[in-house]
Chains A and B, each alone.
Chain A
Amino acid sequence: MELLDKLSVLADAAKYDAACTSSGAKRGFERGKIGCTSSGVMGCCHSFSADGRCITLLKVLLSNDCMYDCKYCVNRRTNETRRATFTPEELADLTIQFYRRNYIEGLFLSSGVLRSPDYTTELMIRALSILRREYLFNGYIHAKAIPGTSPELVEQLGMLADRLSVNIELPSEASLRALAPNKTKAAVLRPMRFIADRGQENRRELVKYRHAPRFAPAGQATQMIVGATGESDRRILTLTQSLYDTYHLKRVFYSAYVPVVENTLLPSLDTKPPLLREHRLYQADWLLRFYGFRAGELLDEGQPDFDPLLDPKCCWALRHPDFFPVEVNRADYEALLRVPGIGVVSAKRILVARRGGALRAEDLKKLGVVLKRAQYFLTCSGRSTAPLRLSLEGVRRNLTATERASLPAGPLDQLSLFEPA
Chain B
Amino acid sequence: MAWREVVYEYDGSFDGLLCCIYESYTQKELPAAFFRTGELEPCLYEVRAVTTDAAHARRVYEGFRRFSPEVGPFLRRAYWTCLPEKELAIYRFAAKLYREGKPLLQRLSDETYHPLLRAVRQLNGELEQYRGFVRFSDIGGALAAEIEPKNRVLPLLRGHFCQRCHNETFFLYDRTHREALFYADGHSAIVPLEEFVMAPPDETEKRYRRLWRCFYDTIAIRERENPKLRMSHMPKRFWPLLTELQSDPDAIPPSPSLCAAFAAPGAPAAIPAPATRQAPAPSAPASAP
Does the CB pair A55–B216 fall under 8 Å?
yes
Least CB distance, A180 to chain B, in whole angstroms: 20
B143, B220, B225, B242 interface centre (most CB from chain A within 10 Å): B220
With beta carbons under 8 angstroms apart, the residue of B136, B218, B230 that contacts A101 is B136
Contact of B218 with A8 in the complex, beta carbons under 8 Å: yes
Neighbour of A36 across the interface among B163, B208, B234, B242, CB < 8 A: B163
A100 pairs with B138, CB closer than 8 A: yes
Interface string of B214-255 (1 = CB under 8 A from A): 111111111111111110111000000011100000000000
**Pair A48/B230 contact, Cβ less than 8 Å:** yes
| Closest Cβ neighbor of A34 among chain B residues | B167
Size bracket of the B interface: 35 or more
A45–B128 Cα distance when bound, in Å, is 9
Q: Which residue of A lies closest to B204 (CB)?
A: A97
By the criterion CB–CB under 8 Å, are A47 and B106 in contact? Answer: no
**Chain B 44-88 residues near chain A, CB threshold 8 A:** none
Is the CB–CB distance between A7 and B211 below 8 Å? yes
- Interface residue tally on A, bucketed by range: 35 or more
Q: Is B114 an interface residue (CB 8 A)?
A: yes
Interface residue stretch chosen among A65-73, A213-221, A347-355, A389-397: A347-355
Say if the beta carbon of A177 comes within 8 Å of chain B. Answer: no
- Whether A101 touches B168, Cβ cut-off 8 Å, given contacts A29-B163, A47-B234, is no
A414 within 8 A of B: no
In the complex, A102→B106 CA distance in Å?
38
Residue among A11, A16, A42 having the largest count of chain B Cβ atoms under 10 Å: A11
Instruction: Provide the residues of chain B in CB contact with A29, threshold 8 Å.
Output: 163-164, 166
Cβ–Cβ contact B230 & A51, under 8 A: yes
**Is the beta-carbon distance between B226 and A52 smaller than 8 angstroms?**
yes
Can you name the residue of chain A whose Cβ is closest to the Cβ of B229?
A52
Q: Which of A11, A12, A98, A363 contacts B208 (CB 8 A)?
A: A98
Q: Which of A91-148 contact B (CB under 8 A)?
A: 94, 97-98, 100-103, 105
Q: Which residues of B contact A309 (CB under 8 A)?
A: none
Interface code A251-280, partner B: CB below 8 Å = 1, 0 otherwise?
A: 000001010000000000000110100000
Whole-angstrom distance between the Cβ of B199 and the nearest chain A Cβ: 15
Give min CB distance, B158 to chain A, whole Å.
Answer: 13
Q: Cα distance A357–B218 when bound, in Å?
A: 54
Nearest CB on A from B219, distance (A): 5
Whether A356 lies near B107 (C-beta < 8 A) is yes
**How many Å from the CB of B138 to the closest CB on chain A?**
7
List chain B residues, Cβ under 8 A from A359: 109
Bound-complex Cα distance A256 to B223 (A): 10
Q: Are B212 and A8 in contact, with the CB atoms below 8 A?
A: no
A50 touches B230 (CB 8 A): yes
- B135 contacts across to A, CB distance below 8 A: 101-103
Q: Which residue of A lies closest to B107 (CB)?
A: A356
> Across the two chains, which residue of chain B brings its CB closest to A278?
B224
Q: A54–B243 Cα gap in the complex (Å)? A: 16
A35 / chain B contacts, CB cutoff of 8 Å: 164-165
Minimal beta-carbon separation of A274 from chain B (angstroms)? 11
CA distance A16 to B107 in the complex (A): 46
Residue of A44, A100, A367 with most partner-chain B CB within 10 A: A100
Q: Could you name 25 residue pairs across A and B whose Cβ atoms are closer than 8 Å?
A: A11-B215, A15-B218, A15-B220, A16-B221, A32-B167, A38-B164, A45-B132, A45-B233, A47-B242, A47-B244, A48-B233, A48-B234, A49-B216, A49-B230, A50-B217, A51-B229, A51-B230, A52-B229, A100-B138, A101-B135, A101-B136, A101-B212, A102-B164, A258-B224, A356-B107
Chain B: residues with CB nearer than 8 A to chain A?
A: 103-110, 114, 128, 131-138, 143, 145, 160, 163-168, 208, 210-212, 214-230, 232-234, 242-244
